[in-house]
A = this chain, B = another copy of it.
């Protein structure tokens, strides 16, 4: 009945995030306008790609004049629904969960962890701005705040079971830090973040690079690791 839905975020979307981060920085520096090649230079992609990506997401500038940064950012905010607040829950207040609950960038981007949950009564006593609830109150809180997205930071062994609970409680998207492939119904979005794999990837590429040094191979590597 349950099926695997293991997703990889599209590269063009990742690049849009990149552009946005860059634009936000430029805006802070007082810059008002950009051209596709400005963004390209700053993010390491080609100007063509910037424009194609914008085209894909329906973002348009004005010919000759480039793009108005505020305008561009506003359009992106709309695309990503960043003008509204997003309430999130976090399950598992262990090492990782605790760190994530303290991460201020989430709030800065309007993503509020409004509640955290843990099976361990001891964890429920953590003094923190965000309340730590017992798992029995999961559905109640998710319903009350109309929460659709959860961060899962429980041990591998409990991940599937907690994921099932989340889906039953109405969660539609999960950022999963446990190194397991969750089985969820097809209408639930899973984004697996596997930090071991991220580290291993780097080790893999570093080895590849050191094995056969020289520019020829650098180029091959670059092909392998496209932006």
Contact = CB atoms under 8 A, between A and B. Distances in A.
Please give the count of copies of this chain that the complex contains. 2
Interface residues of A, number: 71
Contacts of A102: 95
Contacts of A130: none
Interface string A1-35: 00111111111011001100110000000000000
B195 A9 contact: no
A15 to B, nearest CB: 9
Nearest to A22: B181
Interface in A196-224: 196-207, 209-210, 218, 224
Interface of A: 3-11, 13-14, 17-18, 21-22, 42-44, 79-82, 86, 88, 95-96, 98-100, 102-103, 105-106, 109, 111, 148-149, 151, 172-175, 179-181, 186-187, 189, 191, 193-207, 209-210, 218, 224-227
Nearest 9 interchain pairs by C-beta = A4-B44, A173-B206, A95-B99, A173-B202, A7-B225, A99-B99, A17-B197, A9-B201, A189-B205
